[in-house]
Structure 1
Amino acid sequence: MPKHRQWEGLAEITEKYGDIVMLRILDQRIVIFGGGGTVLEHLEKTSATTSGRAQSPSFKMSGMTEAFGFMEYGQAWRLRRRLFWQYFNSNAIRKYQEVQREHIHKLAKSLLESTSASPNTSAMSAALLEIVYGLQAREGDETIKVVDIGMQGVRELLLSGTFLVDILPFLQYAPSFKPFRRTFERWRRDLRRMMVLPFERYMAEDPRPECVATDMISGAQRLVKVNMCVYQDLQYHTYISAQTASTLLVFFLAMSLYPEVQMRAQAELDAVVGQNRLPDFSDRPNLPYVNAIVKEVYRWLPVSPLGLPHFTTEDEEMGGYFIPKGTILVSNIWACLRDSEAYENPEEFLPERWIKDGKIDPDVRDSERYLFGFGRRICPGRHFADAAVFVGVGVLLHVFKFCPPLDADGKEIKIKPRLADIFVS
């Protein structure tokens, strides 16, 4: 198993041996899917038996198995999925547009006023905090800081094969004073705090604000179970906000490296939106090139290049191979979206690949089908995230010019477009 930027090393393996490759680490089988058609064929059509999550020792020791996105496939997960979908399906998210709009405008204002070299993209975390719990995030808000701290451990945990305890499970019973045990305990504590603090703040509000949490609790009969769902699910909301923020950073980079793309998009915005207002959700059908930029951002540097691994809960047959129960299934999303047979010049950022006759070409392999997961484990917050990315890209393109950074002598710094070696990259 490659140790760094695993998506690149695994792409070389599947290119050499085929779109389905099985690795074995001691007794654990890991199947790598390296082709776009292969992923959809096997994770969509066999989702009843491939929607599990491996409950590794590192996940258990850190408390990750309590979080919705990483729970075992079963009744508890289905309850959370049903509740989440009720409030974040494609129709329900429309009532959150005002909050999303407000926080994108705040992000634009903070970029205008900031003197930092690193843009602050916590607007998505603040928007989700307000939507789910009705809490207004203030400058230096403790809840946002707690979320950031909690996500540090999550990012490291999600890099497969990082921890020796997953290879040698008996190490989980090592004495508590061992350094790796203390690390896992700190991550468990940080993750728990990240999930509980917003719920505690919400419960302390009098009167309770109008928000998803209020709707969920007032509309349910088993309050204890629903309360657990509300605060445990913050981890998944946080994952969505981290993906959205990272996607906007990819957009910033692409615009600085491809000024001709930026200029064409701004010309479209000038023609459709004009100079007297900012782009809005209702403009989306009339902005095909901006939509093409969003799709190309998803494709060019997918911010979750390996997604979340699936786990077979029953024996399966895939591509003529026998895949036993208990096999980890890894989808190389990065490789699927760099397939030269589906995308000409895949290394280049080319929104034009998505356009045909002035509209989005439905025959191009849709990057959204890969970025947000597969089968029954597809991200239930994908509509919210996609809407936020679109309006963010539209607003920021309409008011800013993106350029490469400059060194102390005023010369351009060449940025190599490459994903960082972390899970949400």
Structure 2
Amino acid sequence: MLFPFLIQAFLTVILLGLFCHLAYRKWAGRRALRLPPGPLQLPILGNVHQLPQDYQEKTLARWGRQYGDIVFAQLFRTPAVIISSVSVAKDLMEKRSANYSSRPHFVLQTELMGWDSAITHMPYNDRFRKHRKWIQDAIQSKSALLSFRSLQYRETYTFLTSITESPDEFMSHIRRFAAALIMEITYGHTITSLNDQFLRIAERATTETVANGSPGSMLVDFFPILKHMPLWMPGAGFLRRAAQVKYHVRRMLDKPYDLVKNRLATGTASPSFTSALLEQASRGNVSNPEEEEEDIKGAAGVLFAAGSDTTVSVLSTFLLAMVLHPEVYQKAQTEIHQVTGGTRLPGFEDREQLPYLACVLKELLRWHCPVPLGIPHLASVSDEYSGYDIPQGSLIIPNIWAMTQRTDVFPDPSTFRPERFMEPGGQVTDSIDPANMVFGFGRRVCPGQDFADASIWLLIANMVATMDISRAQDTRGNDITPSASFTSGFVSHPKPFKCRISPRSASVIKLISDMSTIHA
């Protein structure tokens, strides 16, 4: 009995010695590099043990304040560079975009959850450029943005009508508004209610994805061998959950695509992103039809997934901010009334005459950015920046939340104060625009930025013009003051809150009704 034990002990010592030798070599190699400063690391773990499960952006921001705008950390075997400065982010991800435009391989979301055909997760390659061109041509050109205006007006007035009828369900109306815009553009499908089957399928896929792991947040992303664990094995719960998410993602990609394909076959398809690509594929010389089909499904699916949830976050944050800061809302109402006279609803032609509302939107993105950490970029080759070495394969993590909360750039950052973007002469400052942070950087910047901006502006302008927003009251008539608190996760939302929304007057209700009829 002793002999096998001695053999086992001997092998353990040998393996331990080998591990220590390799760890020392790696440590010595790192010592030779001029790495950015960062927190102390432990063997094997690196700095993973120092990251909380929730609100990681706050811990990373604290590192930034302690060590500087560029911080080095080790996440198991993976080097990571955390950026807390817009100027550093632009220096690397925009000015050196050839090196910092790719993505790490996210095993959980690409292989296990089925998002491998989403441009947001693709490495920077020909397939990425193909998807990017499709999306840019469809929603980024000036002609495309102008063509969407009738849809944006229609859905804005539908929202106003709905919130007039059932104001307590404001979150449902926001979700419907965001989804309806994207669904119509992407698939030519009009959403008339929250019970729409395609809306339910898409929302299930996106919420399940966010709930079960952000990009680069799970152990399997650092140790891909874990994806081969037997499902019955303790600790394999993430695999079972990922399989369920993949089912919903697959339905999201397939169902609306099949709808458009069938409508094209019967000649009943409305113009859309998907129908245009299908018609283009039918005319062109496609070498791999199955691959082309998957590309179209992925490009269409990511439009909804990337656009709707962030729009919901921004609009719900607006309501929360206005409930907490009625003086801001009143000032915005006064500005709009001066432009419209209260006899019509604001339109895109009024935007340049509403500088205070522009500041409100800027402060909205700054006060609470919808995607606190973005999706990590990848250093494709080793680089040197500001005297520091950035190893090949490093995760480049832009801490967008930290950038919007810097006290040296935005004094008293927890306070919602649109005036910080207003110059003494009443003009809107463009020197520091939160939109240049929250939509991403370089070749990975969100291609739907202008469309999202226009949609959000139009809805908020019309809400300010037509609705009074105030604090809800309890059964005793006392005001209920919500807290400025937000959920943790890849996309962050305000935690559930109550508010009171009501039309400003009977004439406003008639204006909404008239405009809804015109744009029906």
SS at match of 1:48: helix
- Structure 2: how far apart are the matches of 1:157 and 1:32? 23
Question: Match for 1:45 among 95, 100, 112?
Answer: 95
Partner Cα separation in structure 2 for residue 286 and residue 101 of structure 1 = 19
Structural RMSD (CA): 1.8
> Is the contact between residue 90 and residue 383 of structure 1 (CA under 8 Å) also seen in structure 2?
no
Counterpart AA for 1:401: D
Structure 1 residue 117 displacement after superposition: 5.2
Does structure 1 conserve the Cα–Cα contact (< 8 Å) formed by 2:117 and 2:299? no
Choose the corresponding residue for 2:179, options 114, 118, 125. 125
Deviations 1:109-145 (A, max 9, x none): 2211125355221211111111121111132100000
Q: CA deviation at 1:230?
A: 2.9
Preserved contact between residue 30 and residue 327 of structure 1 (Cα < 8 Å): yes
Is 1:235 the counterpart of 2:287 in the alignment?
no
- Larger CA Rg, structure 1 vs 2: 2
**Is the partner of 2:79 in helix, strand or coil?**
strand
Looking at structure 2, the residues matched to 158 and 370 of structure 1 have their Cα atoms a distance apart, in angstroms, of: 23
CA distance in 2: counterparts of 1:318 and 1:2, whole angstroms: 29
Please report how far the alpha carbon of residue 157 of structure 1 lies from its aligned counterpart in structure 2 after TM superposition: 5.0
1:381 Cα offset (Å): 0.7
After superposition, residues 90-105 of structure 1 pair within 5 angstroms as 90-91=141-142, 92-105=144-157
Judging changes above 3 Å, is the alpha-carbon distance between structure 1 residues 411 and 103 closer, same or farther for their aligned structure 2 residues?
same
1:213 paired residue number: 274
Structure 2 counterpart of 1:108: 160
Call closer, same or farther: CA 1:99–1:381 in 2, change over 3 Å: same
Change (3 A) 1:404 1:222: farther
Which structure 1 residue ranges, 5 or more long, are not aligned? none
Task: Report the counterpart of residue 308 of structure 1 in structure 2.
Answer: 375
For the 8 Å contact 2:112–2:243, the answer to whether it is kept is yes
The TM-score, its normalising length taken from structure 2, stands at: 0.78
Q: Match of 2:73, SS?
A: strand
Aligned to 1:264: 331
User: Alignment partner for residue 279 of structure 1, among 339, 346, 359?
Assistant: 346
Contact 1:301 1:418 in 2 (8 A): no
SS at match of 2:58: helix
Distance 1:345 1:3, change over 3 A: same
Q: Does 1:190 align with 2:248?
A: yes
CA distance in 2, matches of 1:158, 1:181: 11
1:15-55 deviation digits (Å, cap 9, x = unpaired): 01111111112211111101222212221111111111111
**Hey, what's the Cα distance between the residues in 2 that align with 1:64 and 1:408?**
47
Equivalent residue, structure 2, for 1:32 = 82
Q: Deviations over 1:226-270 (max 9, x none)?
A: 543332123321211111111001110111111111111111111
1:136 pairs, out of 168, 183, 190, with 190
Give the Cα separation in 1 of the matches to 2:241 and 2:292: 30
Structure 2 residue corresponding to 1:170, chosen from 215, 218, 225: 225
Bigger drift between 229-238 and 260-269 goes to 229-238
Match of residue 399 from structure 1: 466
Q: Given the superposition, is the C-alpha separation of residues 245 and 209 from structure 1 closer, same or farther in structure 2, using an over 3 Å criterion?
A: same
Give the partner amino acid of 1:292.
C
| 3-state SS of 1:45 partner | coil
Select 2:114's aligned residue among 40, 60, 63.
63
Instruction: Name which of 12, 24, 28 aligns with 2:62.
Output: 12
Could you say which structure has the greater relative contact order, defined with CA pairs below 8 angstroms and 6 or more residues apart?
1
Using the size of structure 1 for normalisation, the TM-score is: 0.95
Gaps of 5+ in 2: 1-50, 493-520
Aligned counterparts of 1:281 and 1:227: Cα–Cα separation in 2: 37
- What letter is aligned with 2:156? I
Cα distance change, pair 141–194 in 1 and its aligned pair in 2 (3 A): same
- Give the equivalent residue in structure 2 for 1:362: 430
**For 2:379 and 2:114, how far apart are their aligned partners in 1?**
22
**Aligned 8 A contact 2:108 2:215 in 1:** no
Residues 113-122 or 42-51, more deviating? 113-122
Among 448, 451, 458, which residue is 1:381 paired with? Answer: 448
Pick closer, same or farther for the CA change 1:158–1:29 going to 2, 3 Å.
Answer: same
- Structure 1's 135 and 222: CA in aligned 2 closer, same or farther, altered over 3 A? farther
SS in 2 for 1:146: helix
Q: Deviations over 1:337-368 (max 9, x none)?
A: 111221222111111111121221123x1100
**What is the CA distance between 1:160 and its match in structure 2?**
5.2
CA separation of 1:156 and 1:73: change in aligned 2, threshold 3 A: farther
Q: Determine whether 1:153 maps to 2:208.
A: yes
What is residue 76 of structure 1 aligned with on the other side? Answer: 127
The answer (yes or no) to whether the contact 1:176–1:182 under 8 Å persists in 2 is yes
Amino-acid identity (%): 28
Q: Partners of 1:228 and 1:159 in 2: how far apart?
A: 23
- Matching residue's letter, 1:259: P
Answer with 2-11 or 367-376: which moved more. Answer: 2-11
**Mapped partners of 1:8, 1:154: distance in 2:** 22
Amino acid at match of 1:360: V
Q: CA 1:226 to 1:355, structure 2 compared with 1: closer, same or farther past 3 Å?
A: farther
For 1:414 and 1:22, how far apart are their aligned partners in 2? 40
For the residues of structure 2 that align with 1:236 and 1:161, how far apart are their CA atoms?
A: 18
- Higher mean alpha-carbon deviation, 22-31 vs 142-151, is at 22-31
Cα distance between partner residues in 1 of 2:328 and 2:344: 22
Within 2, Cα distance between the matches of 1:148 and 1:331? 27
Conservation of the 8 A alpha-carbon contact between 1:240 and 1:381: yes
Q: Which moved more, 1:175-184 or 1:294-303?
A: 175-184
The equivalent of 2:491 in structure 1 is 424
SS of 1:119's partner is helix
The secondary structure found in structure 1 opposite 2:191 is coil
Q: Secondary structure at the residue paired with 1:401?
A: strand
CA distance in 2 between counterparts of 1:158 and 1:95 reads 36
Contact 1:124 1:241 in 2 (8 A): yes
